[in-house]
Amino acid sequence: MKAQPIISDALRLIGQVHPGQTPADAELAEGLLVLNALLDSWSIERLNIIVVGSALYDLVTATGAYTIGPGGTFNQARPIKIERANIKVVDGGAATHWLRLGPLGLLTAKEWAAIIEPGATATVPEALYYDHAFPLGNINLWPVPVFTGTAPKIELFYWNALTAFPDLNTTDVSLAPGYDAALKYNLALVLAPRHGVAPPQAVVAAAAETKAAIRALNVALPDAEPPAGPLNAVPPTQGAS
């Protein structure tokens, strides 16, 4: 889909453009900015994202810190959030047979800061801390993996931002069924106050219904809770029995 038809339809829904009219260049330019801001805001809500991405990377012995994002150690789009991570290891030296170990504990900043010995080493890490830095995020593994032979891999499952529209009418952006209507109606709600009008109640209702429809399709079955983190992440209370 292209941005201009979405913007034009959103303006028609709030009465700013009549059927057969083309919005003014200034209206289209503003609409593109607002449309991409809407997509950006939707990207931080799991139910607005149609698929959880995955990637697999080799680990480096004695290295526990990696960057992720364009040009990073893990060179890909910077994840909005890492939802799950596993370690994959070769089974008994058979290079074509990999075992999945996990999931890794996903640590908060508080839990990461409470680890007594962040430089501790092991063959396979137990936990991961992702700091959400921008433009490159930082991934820290604990314990730091130290190994010989075939490198273990880290398997990441993550949220990717919804794709922004780079221009008005040249680039097709691939979004799943249902997003076209949801974007038009919800964009109309955001544009209405900018034009000093109130959106019709039918548009308000359609915006809620179309967004709810895509969120219903994106509902994932709940997983069992992953481990909270390494057991010795927080020092034991002095004098505990």
Would you say residue 16 lies in a domain?
Answer: yes
Domain count of the chain?
Answer: 2
Would you say residue 229 lies in a domain?
Answer: no
Spatial distance between the Cα atoms of 50 and 177, rounded to a whole number of angstroms: 10
Do residue 93 and residue 140 come from a single domain? yes
Provide the residue-wise pLDDT of the chain in tens; the chain has 241 residues.
999 999 999 999 999 988 888 999 999 999 999 999 999 999 999 899 887 899 999 999 999 999 999 999 999 999 999 999 999 998 865 567 889 998 999 999 999 999 999 999 999 999 999 999 999 999 999 999 999 988 999 999 999 889 999 999 999 999 889 999 999 999 999 999 999 999 999 999 999 999 999 999 887 655 544 444 444 444 333 333 3
Q: Are 106 and 85 in contact (CB under 8 A)?
A: yes
Would you say residue 227 lies in a domain?
Answer: no
Do residue 60 and residue 151 come from a single domain? yes
Do residue 61 and residue 101 come from a single domain? yes
Do residue 189 and residue 212 come from a single domain? yes
Do residue 116 and residue 198 come from a single domain? no
Do residue 107 and residue 95 come from a single domain? yes
Do residue 114 and residue 171 come from a single domain? no
Predicted local confidence at residue 93, as pLDDT: 58
Q: Say which CATH number the domain at 25 has.
A: 1.10.3230.20
Predicted local confidence at residue 160, as pLDDT: 87
Q: Are 72 and 66 in contact (CB under 8 A)?
A: yes
Would you say residue 237 lies in a domain?
Answer: no
Q: Give residue 72's domain range.
A: 53-159
Q: Are 124 and 89 in contact (CB under 8 A)?
A: yes
Spatial distance between the Cα atoms of 153 and 10, rounded to a whole number of angstroms: 46
Would you say residue 225 lies in a domain?
Answer: no
C-alpha neighbours within 13 Å on the C-beta side of residue 117: 7
pTM of the shown model:
0.78
Question: Rounded to the nearest 5°, which phi and psi values hold at 159?
Answer: -90, 130
